[in-house]
Amino acid sequence: MVGVEQWAEIRRLHFVRGLSMREIHRRTGLHRDTISRAIHSDEPPVYRRAPSGSKLDPFKDEIHRLLRDDAEITGQRIRELIAPLGFDGGKTIVDDYLREVRSMFRSPRTYQRTIYRPGEICQFDLWEPRDEIPVGHGQTRKGYVVVACLGYSRAGAGALIFSKKIPDLLFGIRRCLWSLGALPQTLVWDRQSGLHAGGGRPTVEFAAFCGQVRVDWLFCEPRDPQAKGCVERLQDFAERSFEPGRCFANELDFQLQLDTWFTERANARQHKTLRCRPVDRLVEEHRAMAPLPRIGPDVDRRWSMRVPPDPYLRFDTNDYSLAPRLVGRRVEVRVTDRELTAIALDTGELACRHVRSFAKHRTITALEHARALKEQRQERRARTTTRAEPQVQVRSLAVYDQLIA
């Protein structure tokens, strides 16, 4: 076989210079058959080795049968099933083949572009910031952000919470709706624990919340984030644009910066799909949305308890002081996103009012409660001392003189 350069030289001598095969043979010394093949070939000579086949070839029919039964079967499981049949190849050869043929055994999903009417839906999702949030006292805590996005205007809002419990999720939804300024027809969620009770049904608490604000709910199918793509893209934008390069003093600073970012950046930017600003569309969408109720739904935690002899109540690993004078009486505790209060059930007296702490394992004592405890200890010590002294009769010393005489 001649090389590429020799093949090109033979064709140049024959077609450009017009030399005969005899003359080319005399000049190059190549065999006449080699010269003839080079003249009549349109492509340069290439060495091609005959395919030797693959170790997987005898087992491809079995692999196809397994894929017909379950198109999502893993490559590891396929190797385990064909190994007793004699397959001794590695992982790569099976995975490469599965990438080529798996799509033949499952129907590909198609998507449609959805157009939303003004005020039709508001999509929600739970975003987990990468870094923990400072909460004071040298502590940080893992936070979550309830993210909301209106379908028509793409206007968004966010609320910081510190757990996935129902009251915190409902608080996040309420704060987002109040930030957006009006109520949509439907709230769209994935199957978030605490809101979804199974089978597309809401939990009692979420249903009660929707009933109070008069909105409907919709839960997406499992493993279907594409169904709420508006909020997914907004969340991705927040991960790339809001969090990097920022630092926060505490949870209040985080929420303040988040609100400012939504107002000045996310809702004020030129949206690529809409080709306008979400804040401009929001004005139009407000006309089709229901107004906010005068009083928002109650999402606070409430429970009743009896004030213990050690007048403290525990919430979220923290101990909050109670009025010592109410020991033994029942109080109703109410916890909002900012404060913790307790009211005596029989008289309506204020048992405590504390700023809620998101730091953990702290003891929070009000100054008036500490003073009352100190006064009670002093009174109890005085009573104990008075009862311990015996009552001795005091007599005149002259009486003793007469007895001695």
Q: How confident is the model at residue 110 (pLDDT cuts 50, 70, 90)?
A: confident
Reported as half-sphere exposure (CB side, CA atoms, 13 A), residue 149 has a value of 24
CB neighbour class for 157 (10 Å; exposed up to 12, middle 13-18, buried from 19): buried
Assess whether pLDDT exceeds 80 at residue 10. Answer: yes
Per-residue CA distances from 66 to 22, 53, 87, 89 (Å): 63, 22, 15, 18
Concatenating the DSSP letter of every residue in 297-350 gives ----EEEEEEPPSS-EEEETTEEEE--GGGTTSEEEEEE-SSEEEEEETTT--E
Q: Which residues face 355 on adjacent strands?
A: 339
Inter-axis angle of helices 4-11 and 21-28, nearest 10: 140
Buried b (16+ CB within 10 A) or exposed e, 268-290: eeebeeeeebbbebbeebbeebe
The strand ranges marked E within 82-223 are 121-127, 133-136, 139-141, 144-150, 156-161, 186-189, 196-198, 201-202, 216-219
Query: Taking the model in full, what pTM does it have?
Result: 0.73
Q: How confident is the model at residue 388 (pLDDT cuts 50, 70, 90)?
A: low
Sheet order of strands, 363-364 included: 312-315, 318-321, 363-364
Q: Which residues face 150 on adjacent strands?
A: 122
pLDDT above 70 covers what percent of the chain? 96
Sign of CA dihedral 233, 237, 239, 242: negative
Assess whether pLDDT exceeds 70 at residue 161. Answer: yes
Query: What tens digit of pLDDT does each residue of 37-47 get?
Result: 888 888 887 77
Assess whether pLDDT exceeds 90 at residue 9. Answer: no
Q: How confident is the model at residue 32 (pLDDT cuts 50, 70, 90)?
A: confident
Q: Which residues contact 91 (CB under 8 A, 6 or more apart)?
A: 75, 76, 79
Q: What is the pLDDT of residue 185?
A: 96
Q: Which two tokens stand for residue 92?
A: 């790569």
Q: Which residues face 136 on adjacent strands?
A: 139
> For the residues 346-358, what does the mean pLDDT come to?
95
Q: What is the pLDDT of residue 216?
A: 97
Q: How confident is the model at residue 304 (pLDDT cuts 50, 70, 90)?
A: very high
**Count of CB atoms situated within 10 Å of the CB of 354:** 20
pLDDT above 90 covers what percent of the chain? 71
Average pLDDT over the chain reads 91
**Nearest C-alpha neighbor of 315 from the set 364, 368, 270:** 364
Assess whether pLDDT exceeds 90 at residue 97. Answer: yes
> For the residues 249-274, what does the mean pLDDT come to?
95
> For the residues 252-273, what does the mean pLDDT come to?
96
Strand pairing category for 133-136 and 139-141: antiparallel
Inter-axis angle of helices 60-69 and 91-101, nearest 10: 60
Q: How confident is the model at residue 150 (pLDDT cuts 50, 70, 90)?
A: very high
Q: How confident is the model at residue 283 (pLDDT cuts 50, 70, 90)?
A: very high
**Nearest C-alpha neighbor of 341 from the set 362, 313, 368:** 313
